[in-house]
Amino acid sequence: MCRLGTLLSLLLLAVSFGRAQEEAPYLCKGSVPVQVSADLPLDFQGLYFESGLDGSNGAVTLLNKSDKGIQYYVAIMEFFDEKENYLISAPVYNVVEEDQTIPLDVPFKPWLQRNWPGGPMAPIAAKSTSRETFNNVLAMLTCPASVRVALIQLRYDDGTGFKYVSPTLRLSTTPGQKMEIHDPDGAQRWQPLTVVGTLEVDVQGRARILELDAADVFRKWLQNEFSQWKFVPARVEGKPASSRLPFIFYLGDTTHPWVSVEAMRRRGARGAILVWPTFP
């Protein structure tokens, strides 16, 4: 019976892998409705979202309802599943073209910069629209069903400003920079390999492994790798908070990571995940 159960599990895994291959390269793909208060000077329309193993991204049309042009802007969009459970957040913002700095006073610029889609983004003229992109480095096991705008900060052409922040503002944790292997010689000993697990990121941005489907000796090596990276901590109600983050880690020419995605889903994992190294 044990052997039969193993064969059935392998068969189910193969079927899941085949389906994932057919759906590749997207975990999620499609339009998502946006909820935004009518009294805010910036509207969000036609949001498109997609997610793959290399992270999540999309585009949204920003409508400037004001009679003044918007020179700089920062907005945070929160994504939820069909049961209104929080998934991730994604920013849309522009920067100073000359040095790509963020001229507005926000307390989480490292998080914005880590999720920057690239490009300076243009100002938005009065009573006009601009189609802008957004990004989040995390991949999605659960596809979003709705979006809420939780923060808008603007600087108009005349030097005046506008600021709205939801009291329940949330940000999803993210690596503080691109993650690379610090011990390549040690990595050579383990590859090819694919493992899944769960990280805990504390309010200082330190990561430790809570769960890992691998031997203790490899867990020690991988924990050392994670400990050398600084994460941007999550925010709950606008304040830094600890959080848990499922992850897939792979080395060398291994089983396709889509198989691990399906395995994580069957084990009950949901929401955002970190895939490291970033899948090409």
DSSP, res 278: P
Has residue 4 got a pLDDT over 50?
A: no
This prediction has a pTM of 0.86
What is the pLDDT, as a whole number, of residue 14? 39
How far apart (Å, rounded) are the C-alpha atoms in residues 148 and 76?
A: 9
Distances (CA, A) of 258 to 20, 53, 185, 196: 6, 8, 26, 12
Q: Nearest CA to 178 among 220, 116, 223?
A: 116
Task: Name the pairing type of β-strands 272-276 and 243-251.
Answer: parallel
3-class secondary-structure state, position 155: strand
Domain range 28-171, CATH class: mainly beta
pLDDT per residue as tens digits for the range 95-152: 998 888 999 999 999 999 999 988 778 899 999 999 999 999 999 999 999 999 999 9
Query: For residue 12, what pLDDT band results from cuts at 50, 70 and 90?
Result: very low
List, in order, residues 6 or more apart from 154 with CB less than 8 Å away. Answer: 41, 42, 70, 72, 73, 161, 162, 163
**Cross-strand bridge partners of residue 86:** 80
CATH number of 174-276: 3.30.2420
pLDDT digits (tens, 9 = 90+) for 37-96: 999 999 999 999 999 988 999 999 999 999 999 999 999 999 999 999 999 999 999 999
Domain boundaries, the chain: 28-171, 174-276
**pLDDT tens-place string over residues 242-272:** 999 999 988 876 656 678 888 888 888 899 9
The contacts of residue 276 (CB under 8 Å, 6+ apart) are 179, 247, 248, 249
pLDDT tens-digit profile of 165-214?
Answer: 999 999 999 999 888 888 888 888 888 888 899 999 999 999 999 999 88
